[in-house]
Amino acid sequence: MICKALFVLGASLFFFNCVEGLNSNVASIRTGNGGVLAGGFSIQTVVMVVAAMFMIVGGDAAATVLTGAGFPQVFVAWTRFALAAVVLAPFCGLSLRELHQFLDWRLYLRAALIVGGIICILTALKTEPMANVFGGFFVGPVVSYFLSAMLLRERITPLRTLLLLVSFGGVLLVVRPGFGMTVGMGFAILAGCFHGAYLVATRWLAGGFRPRFLLLSQLVIGAVMLAPFATVTVPESTGPVVGLIAISALGSAAGNFLLVLVNRTTPAGVIAPLIYSQLLAAMIIGWVVFAQWPDQLSLLGLSIIIAAGVSSVWFAGRGR
């Protein structure tokens, strides 16, 4: 368990150092267009988003080690919310005049959705390969797309609908409903549904709250929601356990904070395709930490999800 904790910590620190080094030396990087790649992507944006994905998946890997050692999923989820809230609070710029916003019921609905998603994905990771779980989890963009159309009246186009249905076909290849589908993969799908609804709730509230306030609110409210269930029986904590808890919470917190920073200066259409690097991170970390590698059918499904998802985002950026 100590070796696995050290690997995840080392990977997270490596990508964090990549980002820090890039921030300080980006002026020396030349790609023929001032460090900007084709399609509006910059090297800095690519590294930051990919680093965020590896940090988030690394946090999930540490959480998987904890649940595999017998720690309840609710306790692990609570530590992620509580510790991340404490660490990120000084960076979120919370002011006294914003405190009354915590009374808004919509924030509690949004937090409940992300809490449900995290508990479900931790439950799935306890029994299923990491890459397969994240493959099932990527039903979220499909759910988000259709829910946004129904609830927020966002535009639907035939081409994007077709590509998202193809992506959903890739999800079906990974989870294989009716052909040996396990309970764990069912939780992965449910986690994706929660996350898709959470994305819609985030877009619903985005115009009324600062991004960093939304991040802090979900952490604080999530910690409060889970506390009565997580603190009934506190497991014995040893040095390695505390380290894993820290990696689980801080990996997720650092990854999400990086995404907040990137979103401040980069259009969502540029960031969205890079989110699919989370599947690659899950494959790599799952293989190194847990010696898990998807079978051929799952690899095909994961490839379809990535190709269809990135294509959908690319066409959406061009109004198609």
Taking only the tens place, the pLDDT of each residue in 227-251 is: 999 877 777 777 888 889 999 998 9
Across 171-184, average pLDDT: 76
Across 37-59, average pLDDT: 78
This prediction's pTM: 0.80
Over residues 249-294, the pLDDT tens digits come to 989 888 888 887 777 766 665 666 677 888 888 888 999 888 888 8
pLDDT in the model for residue 28? 37
Q: Which residue has the higher pLDDT, 155 or 89?
A: 89
Whether the CB-CB separation of 131 and 279 falls below 8 Å is answered with yes
Over residues 195-228, the pLDDT tens digits come to 999 989 988 998 888 888 999 999 999 999 999 9
Distance, in Å, from the CA atom of 54 to the CA atom of 60, rounded to the nearest integer, reads 10
Over residues 122-161, the pLDDT tens digits come to 999 998 889 889 888 988 888 888 898 898 888 778 887 8
Q: Which residue has the higher pLDDT, 60 or 275?
A: 60
pLDDT of 88 > 60? The answer is yes
Mean of the per-residue pLDDT values of the chain:
81
pLDDT in the model for residue 113? 95
pLDDT in the model for residue 180? 65
pLDDT in the model for residue 173? 82
Residue 304 makes CB contacts below 8 A (sequence gap 6+) with 166, 167, 169, 170, 173
pLDDT in the model for residue 267? 62
CA angle 249, 291, 53 (to 5 degrees): 40
Distance, in Å, from the CA atom of 100 to the CA atom of 102, rounded to the nearest integer, reads 5
Angle between helix axes 43-68 and 2-25 (nearest 10 degrees) is 170
pLDDT of 112 > 90? The answer is yes
| 3-state DSSP assignment of residue 190 | helix
Highest mean pLDDT among 11-25, 35-49, 172-186: 172-186
pLDDT in the model for residue 179? 61
